[in-house]
């Protein structure tokens, strides 16, 4: 099993981006986003106060990675042709000024430079000038060049996502097995995530390593979506103690070669009430409808609109909170989206999450999320955890 992208994969990406630059009459591409830098080089980093940038010179077919000195050893493993370092931020000369000097040195002053943003976005207290403020050149917004290249997953990417689904499945199985009345959510999550991670690491062998600094290679949790709080789609862990009758909304995933998947389930602790069963089945019907609507040649908006019509038909629109899903790969949320305003054509090779939810404030939330691959004829389910109510009841 391959657990990293091959050299050939990165060579193909470089060729594709060079073609896209030529189509837009751009001389180079500057990247500052961790996701976009990873796509072209395999270099993964956290965006801190220290700027990191990349310049791809199309004519020379050359990638130069611009990083703080402390990242050098890490960056030497990347698919770049040259690494330039600066000492520290903010430094005597601001790193963005030094990045501009690099562009001048390689002959890009006065050229058409595509960029995913007009300078480093930063974080952790970063302050700095725009790229267009430190060099006299035509900075052209070009974020979509790599974003659109990411839409269609290659066989290697799909293979990594499949493997992610496998270990996310194990983590969730352990989470369900260890869930019981009276236990604290954090204890259950840590136990399941630790055991799944150790099984994954021991199986994949010593070459496995994470690219994202997560605590666990495979993880499963509740993220605070317990009882009435399950009706809060993006709840935060509260270390809740589980009680009989709680509705539990879960999440599980793992990271393989930088790629992830998404598996979420609604479980019920004890025999479901009539009201719980009603909303669970409505949620399951909604997700099934979404699956049936996803077809090559249709639009992403078609899926979300069909789900929206179902909400109206069943009189549950007040319990709607978010669109039907999003693509996934290196990023947890990538574009395009199953949203009523996203008219992107669905194509084979796209990998989506499908996760319409029902959220009844003060009562409970109900959401499954599955990762699916669009095929020539429809979809293939990549996640495969049981979805029916009887399989997700935990006897108290």
pLDDT per position as a tens digit, 27-75? 999 999 999 999 999 999 999 999 999 999 999 999 999 999 999 999 9
Cβ neighbours for 43, distance < 8 A, ≥ 6 positions apart: 37, 65, 74, 75, 77, 78, 79, 80
| Per-residue model confidence (pLDDT) at position 387 | 98
- State the burial class of residue 124 (Cβ atoms within 10 Å of its Cβ: 0-12, 13-18, 19+): exposed
Residues 249 and 131 in one domain: no
Residue 2, in any domain of the structure: no
Return the structure tokens found at 21.
Answer: 């630059």
Instruction: Kindly state whether residues 203 and 290 are assigned to the same domain.
Output: yes
Residue with tokens 């317990």: 226
The pLDDT assigned to 214 comes to: 84
Return the residue matching tokens 């072209």: 40
Q: What is the largest CA-CA distance in the chain?
A: 70
Question: What contacts 391, CB < 8 A, 6 or more positions away?
Answer: none
Residue 331 has a pLDDT of 87
| Predicted pLDDT of residue 396 | 72
Count of beta carbons in the 10 Å neighbourhood of residue 322: 16
Q: What is the pLDDT of residue 86?
A: 97
Sign for the CA dihedral angle at 227, 230, 232, 234 comes to positive
Tell me, yes or no, whether 172 and 206 share the same domain.
yes
**Same domain membership, residue 338 and residue 198:** yes
Please check whether residues 124 and 179 belong to one and the same domain.
no
367/81 Cα distance (integer angstroms): 45
Tell me how far apart the alpha carbons of residues 155 and 260 are, in angstroms, rounded to a whole number. Answer: 15
List of the chain residues with pLDDT < 50 = none
On the CB side of 58, CA atoms within 13 Å amount to 19
Domain co-membership, 75 together with 167 = no
Q: What is the pTM of this model?
A: 0.96
* Boundary (domain end) residue, out of 149, 179, 206: 149
Domain that holds residue 286: 155-394
Question: What is the total count of domains within the chain?
Answer: 2
| Among candidate residues 130, 149, 168, the one where a domain is terminated | 149
The residue behind tokens 């009680």 is: 243
Residues 31 and 136 placed together within one structural domain of the fold: yes
CB 228 within 8 A of CB 206: no
For 328, residues 6+ apart whose C-beta sits below 8 A from its C-beta are 161, 260, 261, 262, 334, 351, 352, 353, 371
Helical pair 185-204 and 155-178, crossing angle rounded to 10 deg = 140
The pLDDT, as a whole number, for residue 1 is 73
Interval 343-371: pLDDT, tens: 999 999 999 999 999 999 999 999 999 99
Q: How far apart are CA 377 and CA 73, in angstroms?
A: 45
Same domain as 167, residue 135: no
Determine, yes or no, domain membership for 1. Answer: no
Of 149, 179, 209, the position where a domain reaches its end is 149
Check whether residue 164 and residue 269 sit in a common domain: yes
Of the chain, the end-to-end C-alpha distance in Å amounts to 39
92 plus 165 within the same structural domain: no
Same domain flag for 141 and 184: no
Task: For 365, list phi and psi in degrees, rounded to 5.
Answer: -115, 155
User: Which token pair is 292?
Assistant: 């049936």
Whether residues 169 and 191 share a domain: the answer is: yes
């Amino acid at each position: 099993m391959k657990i990293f992208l091959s050299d050939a994969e990165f060579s193909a990406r470089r060729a594709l981006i060079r073609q896209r630059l030529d189509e837009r009459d751009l001389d180079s591409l500057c990247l500052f986003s961790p996701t976009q830098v990873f796509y072209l080089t395999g270099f993964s980093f956290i965006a801190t106060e220290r700027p990191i940038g990349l310049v791809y010179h199309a004519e020379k077919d050359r990638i130069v990675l611009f990083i703080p000195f402390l990242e050098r050893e890490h960056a030497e493993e990347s698919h770049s042709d040259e690494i330039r370092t600066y000492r520290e931020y903010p430094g005597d000369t601001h790193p963005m000024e030094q990045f501009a000097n690099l562009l001048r040195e390689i002959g890009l002053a006065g050229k058409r430079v595509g960029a995913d943003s007009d300078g480093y976005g930063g974080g952790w207290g970063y302050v700095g000038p725009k790229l267009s403020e430190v060099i006299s050149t035509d900075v052209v917004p070009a974020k979509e060049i790599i974003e659109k290249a990411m839409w269609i997953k290659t066989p290697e990417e799909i293979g990594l996502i499949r493997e992610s689904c496998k270990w996310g499945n194990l983590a969730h199985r352990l989470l369900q097995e260890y869930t019981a009345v009276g236990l604290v959510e954090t204890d259950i999550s840590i136990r399941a995530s630790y055991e799944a991670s150790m099984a994954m690491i021991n199986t994949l062998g010593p070459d496995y390593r994470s690219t994202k600094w997560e605590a666990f290679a495979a993880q499963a949790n509740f993220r605070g979506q317990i009882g009435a709080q399950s009706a809060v789609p993006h709840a935060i862990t509260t270390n809740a103690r589980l009680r009989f009758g709680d509705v539990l909304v879960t999440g599980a995933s793992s990271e393989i070669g930088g790629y992830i998947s998404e598996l979420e389930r609604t479980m019920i602790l004890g025999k479901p009430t009539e009201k719980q069963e009603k909303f669970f089945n409505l949620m399951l019907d909604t997700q099934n409808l979404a699956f049936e609507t996803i077809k090559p040649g249709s639009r992403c908006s078609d899926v979300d609109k069909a789900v929206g019509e179902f909400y109206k038909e069943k009189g549950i629109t007040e319990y709607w909170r978010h669109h039907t899903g999003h693509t996934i790969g290196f990023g947890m949320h990538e574009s395009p989206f199953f949203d009523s305003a996203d008219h992107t054509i669905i194509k084979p090779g796209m990998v989506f999450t499908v996760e319409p939810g029902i959220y009844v404030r003060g009562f409970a939330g109900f959401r499954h999320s599955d990762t699916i691959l669009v095929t020539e004829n429809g979809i293939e389910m990549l996640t495969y955890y049981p979805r029916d109510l009887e399989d997700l009841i935990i006897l108290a």
